[in-house]
Structure 1
Amino acid sequence: MKKLMTFTIMAIVFTVLSACGGGKTYKPVAINEETDKCEICNMQVKDDAFAVQLTTKDGKTYKFDDLGCMNEWKQKNGTDNIGASFVRDYNNKEWITYEEASYVYDASLKSPMAYGVYSFKSKSDAQSFIDEQKKGTLMTAADLKSHSWKQNTDMMKNMSGHGHDENAHSTTDANGTSGDMKGKH
């Protein structure tokens, strides 16, 4: 009888804890290029490899056009209320969780706001990119916590002379080819 009572109480406690959000699942939401604006720089968020987002524990989703902008949001708002953060694989735009992704940083890598950080689904994909480009530092989400997050000001000046100009978005593809991101970002 005691074992049955103990089991029943444990089952009730587990059910209550699960219902209180312990098992909440967060998923990335689609990017709508018509309406989505970066929460930091107010630029259009393109449905591309640079789009990132986070969802708070209360269900509010914030979208960003560059991983550096999401970092700036975290610095301003803290991370205690974040339920999940998502980045895109540079190779195929697949959504992956921020913590599980591998990252490549190099100041010369072009990203929408010139932070130079690309995300990859796997460490081997990130390393392959570094090997192909012959530049970059392999990083993890933990490494990004202490990353300097400086924009490449020379790149920003060359793109438009102003960090938040819609015409300033450009990128370098995996083959090192530069291109205007307007309409592609």
Structure 2
Amino acid sequence: MKRVLYFFILIAFLISGCEKIGVYKEGNKEGKALDFRPGEVQCVQCTMQVGSKEHSAQAVFPNGRTYFFDDIGCMVLWLEKQKNPLDIKLWVYTDDTHRYIDARKAWYKLGDKTPMNYGFGAYEHKKEGMIDFEEMKLKMLRGENMANPKIRKKFIRE
């Protein structure tokens, strides 16, 4: 009996569609970062609720569908699986100016406390030791981030 109940709950969840649980929003024809309330949207990569704008990111497809991420690292991992990543507008919330900017123009610093512990904070203004989007992306894909115990240990010693 429990299996039947679980089956129906699963079917109801799947029928409800992603938009209802806040994985994405439709209709963003301007391609801008969208405003949201904490807990209203969910990271498409790790499925955690996005609790705040801090360290969050958004990806907007040409058709206006906007996906949300709780951590910049999640966006990078998700982006790697997309067919035409250069056609997707990427937004990150900056730690210095507290607003969304083009993720490809932001500067990144390893060592921040982020929701998924990848540790990359986004900044609008470059300071010494910061890296650009492509280098941050490469480090994420290589596992050179704070979620890696070897990197975290090395980073803490420095």
* TM bucket, shorter chain: 0.5 to 0.7
Whether the 8 Å contact between 2:92 and 2:103 is mirrored in structure 1 is: yes
Identity of aligned residues (%): 25
- 1:79–1:103 CA distance, 2 compared to 1 (3 A): farther
Structure 1 gap ranges (5+): 1-23, 128-136, 155-185
The answer for the alignment partner of 2:136 in structure 1 is 144
Residues 81/146 of structure 1: CA separation in 2 closer, same or farther (3 Å cut): closer
Partner of 1:65: 70
* Structure 1 residues 138 and 81, CA gap change in structure 2 (3 angstroms): closer
The root-mean-square deviation of aligned C-alpha atoms, in Å, is 2.3
Q: Which residue of 2 aligns with 1:85?
A: 90
**1:97-136 to 2 correspondences below 5 Å:** 97-106=102-111, 109-124=112-127, 127=128
Q: Which has the larger radius of gyration?
A: 1
Structure 2 unmatched runs, 5+: 1-28, 150-158
- The 1:76–1:138 alpha-carbon spacing in structure 2 relative to 1, beyond 3 Å, is same
Structure 1 residue ranges, 4+ long, deviating more than 3 angstroms after superposition: 78-83
**Secondary structure in structure 1 of the residue aligned to 2:108:** strand
Looking at structure 2, the residues matched to 65 and 114 of structure 1 have their Cα atoms a distance apart, in angstroms, of: 11
Classify 1:48/1:98 alpha carbon distance in 2 versus 1 (closer, same or farther; 3 Å): same
Task: Look up the match of 1:133.
Answer: none
Per the normalisation by structure 1, the TM-score is: 0.57
Partner of 1:20: none
2 CA distance for matches of 1:34 and 1:146? 30
SS at match of 1:146: helix
Q: Under a length normalisation based on structure 2, what TM-score does the superposition of the two structures give?
A: 0.66
Question: Is the 1:26–1:83 contact (alpha carbons within 8 Å) kept by the matching residues of 2?
Answer: no
Give the C-alpha shift of residue 79 in structure 1.
3.7
Q: Give the Cα separation in 2 of the matches to 1:60 and 1:34.
A: 19
Whether 2:86 is the aligned partner of 1:94: answer no
**Aligned pair 1:31/2:31, yes or no?**
no
CA contact (8 A) 1:56 1:81 kept: no
1:67-92 Cα deviation digits (max 9, x unpaired)? 11001111122444643100011134
Separation in structure 2 between the aligned mates of residue 101 and residue 65 of structure 1, nearest angstrom: 17
**Does structure 1 conserve the Cα–Cα contact (< 8 Å) formed by 2:31 and 2:61?**
no
Query: What is the one-letter code of the residue matched to 2:132?
Result: T
CA gap 1:79/1:123 in 2 versus in 1, 3 angstroms: farther
